[in-house]
Amino acid sequence: MKYAFFLGCLIPARELSYEISVRKVLPALGVELVDMKEANCCAPFSIQSLDYVSWLALAARNLCIAEEMGLDILTLCNDCYESLLMVNTVLKQNPEVKDQVNEVLSEVGKEFKGKTEVKHLVDVLHDDLGVKKVKNAVKEPFTKLKVGTQPGCHLAKPKRLHLGVEWGFGALDELVEATGAETIEYDKKEMCCGGPLRGIDDELARPLVRQKLIGLKNAGVECVVTLCPFCFLQFDLGQLEVKRHFKEEYNLPVLHFAELLRMAMGIKLEDWEIRSHRIPLDSILKGRL
């Protein structure tokens, strides 16, 4: 199993522990990652709002690189996933739009042919490898850990491209349970955490994550596990902002799913990775250092 590895902007620039965990976990499960050299920004949805054709062309350039590599794309970021998946679908289904985008791409010597598929980490773990294989790789299960999952909106919406909210949310729950942890239902689970609003409208973003934190705490969750780098930032750094603005403290450790799986597979997080989390991980690291 081999994929063109697309990192995007945010993860290699802010969330190294996520990237490193995937680079350790997937090869251990028999997956080969081939870095996409010269890949550009995905481009995110904010660019789509500014100019649709620019958004199509930027994402299509990345799809062309994967086509040249003869591989499907694997991305870790929900925003990148949504952009790449949507553009791949639009261009495959609309020959006129494809021609328009290829005209733009000719400026940089590329041509979209429609020969690659776009996959998120969860697609690879849940569908390509399978939950059973993931479970079999677990050596140090997180027995009794109560987890609230936050897959991220773009994993499940819009429905026309995905199998629906139930799939997106259910797949992560199944994977978390494969690590031995228990998934807990909580109020506002399917609501956006406000991550995409960070830096654009913080006053609006903050109450959204606060509502989710209230739901998580009331449900007795001990740890938040996410697949999305924006959700991670919003829950991890966001808790400090909620503390400052609302004078409320939740102290809920936040992990990328890849970090949880890595530890369950017996591959320890290094000190600097642990310190990169703003909310201390002490309560879930007991006996794992």
Partner 1 sequence: MFAIRNLAAMEGNVPEGVLTQARSLMDTGCVVNPVRTIVIEREKRGLARITPPTEDVQKILRKTAFNKKTGIE
Burial 89-107 (b: 16+ CB within 10 A, else e): ebbbeeeebbeebbebbee
Say whether residue 57 binds partner 1 (CB under 8 A): yes
Three-state secondary structure of 98-158: HHHHHHHHHHHCCCCCCCCCEEEHHHHHHHHHHHHHHHHCCCCCCCCCEEEEECCHHHCCC
CA dist 89 to 116, 135, 223, 227, 265, Å?
Answer: 10, 32, 35, 22, 35
Say whether residue 149 binds partner 1 (CB under 8 A): no
Say whether residue 272 binds partner 1 (CB under 8 A): yes
Q: Which is nearer to partner 1, 57 or 145 (CB)?
A: 57
Beta bridge partners of 3: 33, 72
E-assigned strands of the chain? 2-6, 32-35, 72-75, 118-120, 146-150, 182-183, 223-226, 254-256
Q: Residue 224 has which token pair?
A: 């938040």
DSSP state of 195: G
Say whether residue 32 binds partner 1 (CB under 8 A): no
Binds partner 1 by CB under 8 A, chosen from 21, 48, 75, 183: 48
Binds partner 1 by CB under 8 A, chosen from 2, 46, 95, 275: 46
Secondary structure (3-state) at 216: helix
CB of 207 vs partner 1, minimal distance in Å: 17
Binds partner 1 by CB under 8 A, chosen from 96, 132, 200, 287: 200
Phi and psi for 222 in degrees, rounded to 5?
Answer: -105, -15
Say whether residue 143 binds partner 1 (CB under 8 A): no
Q: Which is nearer to partner 1, 144 or 271 (CB)?
A: 271
Say whether residue 151 binds partner 1 (CB under 8 A): no
CB of 52 vs partner 1, minimal distance in Å: 4
Say whether residue 204 binds partner 1 (CB under 8 A): no
Say whether residue 20 binds partner 1 (CB under 8 A): yes
Say whether residue 271 binds partner 1 (CB under 8 A): no
CB of 40 vs partner 1, minimal distance in Å: 5
Say whether residue 38 binds partner 1 (CB under 8 A): yes
Closest residue by Cα to residue 64 from 28, 33, 38: 38
Piece in contact with partner 1 (CB under 8 A), picked from 37-45, 165-173, 175-183, 244-252: 37-45
d(CA 271, CA 161): 39
Q: Which is nearer to partner 1, 104 or 184 (CB)?
A: 104
Q: Residue 269 has which token pair?
A: 């997080």
CB of 81 vs partner 1, minimal distance in Å: 15
d(CA 23, CA 11): 13
Q: Which is nearer to partner 1, 1 or 16 (CB)?
A: 16
Piece in contact with partner 1 (CB under 8 A), picked from 102-110, 165-173, 214-222, 260-268: 102-110
Say whether residue 274 binds partner 1 (CB under 8 A): no
d(CA 32, CA 19): 14
For partner 1, the binding residues (CB under 8 A) are 9-10, 12-14, 16, 19-20, 35, 38-41, 43-44, 46-54, 57-58, 61, 104-105, 107-108, 199-201, 272
